[in-house]
Structure 1
Amino acid sequence: MTKDDERSIPAEHLTRVTWALRRAEWAVQARKDQRLRPLGMAAAQYTLLISVNTDPGLTGAELARRLNVTPQAVASQVARLEERGQLERRPHPRHRHVQELHLTDAGRASLHDADAVIVGIEQRIAEKLGPKKAAQLRALLDEVADVVREA
């Protein structure tokens, strides 16, 4: 047995909860991207728009922390959405070097269309699981998030 064999990870890693969460996340993200593509939107852009819609006036740095991505990734997406007229930057009322992000009317319309797509994906999941399992899944995922935050 080589030293590498002693340090290898057993195949049971595929049965871990975190691996199951990741596989589910990949599947959902892939479906979101596939279904949003005809609207000219990526799942990451939807996430950014829904975040700004929920909390208008976020800064790029706040958004990056909230989405757990780099400020550069947010800046790149903001620039694309701004070019499309879906997002605008406004001066922060107290910090002259900071800009707040706000949806435009076009951004709200695009978000509305994209959200209908996402709701369709969520409905499909809920239909397949049934109301009881869907509620259990949501409760378990909330619990997982709480446990991980506490760790």
Structure 2
Amino acid sequence: MEDRVPVPSPHPAEDVTEHVGYRLKRASVALRTAMDKVLREHDLTVPQYSCLELLDEQPGLSNADLARGTFVTRQSANVVLRGLKDAGLITRPTSADHGRALPVHLTPAGRQRLHAARSAVYAIEERMIKAIPPRRLAALLADLDTMTDALGE
């Protein structure tokens, strides 16, 4: 067996659980688990809910736009959109008027489902942010954006 060469930690940490990446992943999993639970009551998945939110803000987005905005592949976005269309929550033409992009729009049922689910999701976010002092929220958001920018995303 080869001897392991120690790699210096990017910051003082006793073990992996004290690393920023570990803590971010832990928070992400906690958020996703809570969202999965409440969205199940609205017959939605997290990617479906995310698509509905994006379409509410920016009607007419394409599959590629929705894939980027919901952090899934184009193929996965197609599956998500198929489920939303089958449920009558979105409309999507079968062919494009020009180009290849097929614009997606919410139906009235989609808007209604989104608004019902949104209050449950926002309650989760409220629980999260109530755990930190309000004066630190802006700094936290800025720090998260700075870390994302540092990784080139």
Secondary structure at 1:99's aligned position in 2?
coil
- Name the aligned partner's letter for residue 6 of structure 1: R
Deviation (angstroms), 1:51: 1.5
1:115 equivalent in alignment to 2:113: no
- Name the aligned partner's letter for residue 49 of structure 1: L
Task: Select 2:32's aligned residue among 11, 29, 33.
Answer: 29
Q: How does 1:77-88 map to 2 (within 5 A)?
A: 77-88=80-91
- Alignment match, 2:98: 94
- Alignment match, 1:137: 140
Q: Distance in 1 between matches of 2:125 and 2:147?
A: 19
1:6 equivalent in alignment to 2:4: yes
Q: Distance in 1 between matches of 2:73 and 2:52?
A: 16
Q: Which runs of 5+ in 2 are unaligned?
A: none
Deviation (angstroms), 1:7: 6.6
Structure 1's 94 and 139: CA in aligned 2 closer, same or farther, altered over 3 A? same
Q: Distance in 2 between matches of 1:127 and 1:119?
A: 12
Higher helix share: 1
Q: For the Cα contact (< 8 Å) 2:47–2:70, is it kept in 1?
A: no
Superposition TM-score, scaled by structure 2 size = 0.84
Superposition TM-score, scaled by structure 1 size = 0.85
- Alignment match, 1:65: 68
Higher strand share: 1
Deviation (angstroms), 1:8: 8.8
Deviation (angstroms), 1:128: 1.8
1:103 equivalent in alignment to 2:101: no
Structure 1's 78 and 66: CA in aligned 2 closer, same or farther, altered over 3 A? same
Moved more, 114-123 or 136-145: 136-145
- Name the aligned partner's letter for residue 4 of structure 2: E
1:106-126 superposed Cα distances (whole Å, 9 cap, x missing partner): 111111111111111111112
Deviation (angstroms), 1:77: 0.8
Q: How many percent identity over aligned positions?
A: 31
Q: Distance in 1 between matches of 2:40 and 2:74?
A: 24
- Name the aligned partner's letter for residue 110 of structure 1: R
- Alignment match, 1:56: 59
Q: For the Cα contact (< 8 Å) 2:88–2:110, is it kept in 1?
A: yes
What is the aligned residue count?
147
